[in-house]
Amino acid sequence: MKKDMILVTGGTGYIGSHTVVELQKAGYPVVIVDNLSNSNKEVLDGIERITGIRPEFVEADCTDMAALTALFDKYPGIKGIINFAASKAVGESMQKPILYYRNNLNTLMNLLDLMGERGVKGIVFSSSCTVYGEPDVNPVTEAAPIKKATSPYGNTKQISEEIITDVINAGAPFKSIILRYFNPVGAHPSAEIGELPNGVPQNLIPYLTQTAIGVRKELSVFGNDYNTRDGYCIRDFIDVVDLARAHVIAVERMLEDKSPEKIEIFNLGTGNGLSVMELINAFERATGVKVPYKIAPRRAGDIEQVWANPAYANEVLGWKAETPIEDTMRSAWAWQLRLRERGVM
């Protein structure tokens, strides 16, 4: 049976591109909308090389209601949306809060506005473990309290969750699944798509792989005196392909009306906390490549430890993170090597 069309906003981005691949593999026709503010069109070639299918692509800004309206006119068959489009750099959001509130919130509100009138059945929203701040208890369940956001970026995720809840409680004729990602890492095992950080990476894995390949001199490990088993911060590093698969299940759940709830929230993580040093060791073990590093002072605003209790997603979605961390580290490294091959970095 032919499946319904899915609109993927931010679909040429890191998590979006991996999700488009999994949607196509599951038989969904996809249209991507992206303004290319943090990605490029070559990603479409990478997707096509993996699946043999080139997704429909509209270059447009989701804060532009006229452009979105035209998109829905062109593709009236859209029945589901996955909204990845957002600005996501925590540090930048401190410098440019209006840009973050405007981009992330207007994008969401435009989509919610159009969905009702265009007969879209549901929207999957990319949220983040950042909503839990420094949790009182680990692993974190979805019932853990939401802590005051420490950045405008984090605040946009909290406000977005509230906007979706308010709109649905007001009787909007669609469903929503909110996915709270922990720390997505790695790349597609084909090395055709992966993460493309802009400038000096702020996140651990891109900095690590760029150091391993010699673009950066050494990795600064921020803090070794945390109250954790080895003194380093602990995170739940989730393979991006595992993460992408969860979106396909979420879309199916909404489109096929499998849940009685109009709004659901799931943690997407592995359930295992790994320290920053354990991750470096896993990378070296998996690739045989040494990472020059130094211990540096703590980074302001860092959470000491956070990892997911993914039991709810495991049970209700029938989804589980499966990729061993060594495989994830190998895919991250293969992607870095591919970027070198292509002369990107």
User: Binding mask 1-40 vs ligand NAD (x if CB under 6 A, - otherwise)?
Assistant: --------xx-xxxxx----------------xxxxxxx-
| Nearest residue (CB) to ligand WQD, 24 versus 211 | 211
| Nearest residue (CB) to ligand NAD, 203 versus 231 | 203
Which residue is it, tokens 């669609």?
174
In angstroms, give the least distance from the CB of 119 to ligand WQD. Answer: 31
Tokens found for residue 201: 């990476």
Eight-class DSSP state of 3: P
When asked if residue 132 is in the footprint of ligand NAD (CB under 6 A), the reply is: no
Residues that bind ligand WQD (CB under 6 A): 88, 90, 128, 130, 154, 183, 202-204, 207, 219-222, 233, 235, 276, 299, 302
Beta carbons of 314 and 269 less than 8 angstroms apart: no
Is residue 312 annotated as part of the catalytic site, yes or no?
no
14 binds, among ligand NAD, ligand WQD, none (CB under 5 to 8 A by kind): ligand NAD
Tokens found for residue 217: 């001199």
When asked if residue 61 is in the footprint of ligand NAD (CB under 6 A), the reply is: yes
| Nearest residue (CB) to ligand WQD, 111 versus 219 | 219
Beta carbons of 77 and 53 less than 8 angstroms apart: no
Beta carbons of 146 and 119 less than 8 angstroms apart: no
- Which one of 24, 93, 110, 126 is in contact with ligand NAD (CB under 6 A)? 126
When asked if residue 186 is in the footprint of ligand NAD (CB under 6 A), the reply is: no
Eight-class DSSP state of 308: B
Q: How do 219-222 and 263-268 pair as beta strands?
A: unpaired
Catalytic residue among 28, 132, 153, 207: 153
138 binds, among ligand WQD, ligand NAD, none (CB under 5 to 8 A by kind): none
Tokens found for residue 134: 């420094």
| Nearest residue (CB) to ligand WQD, 12 versus 128 | 128
Strands (E), the chain: 5-9, 30-34, 56-59, 78-83, 122-128, 175-181, 183-185, 219-222, 234-235, 237-239, 263-268, 274-275, 293-296
Tokens found for residue 318: 């029938």
- Which one of 62, 112, 144, 317 is in contact with ligand NAD (CB under 6 A)? 62
305 three-class SS: strand
In the complex, which residues of this chain contact ligand NAD (CB under 6 A)?
9-10, 12-16, 33-39, 61-63, 84-88, 103, 107, 126, 128, 181, 184
Q: Which residues are catalytic?
A: 153
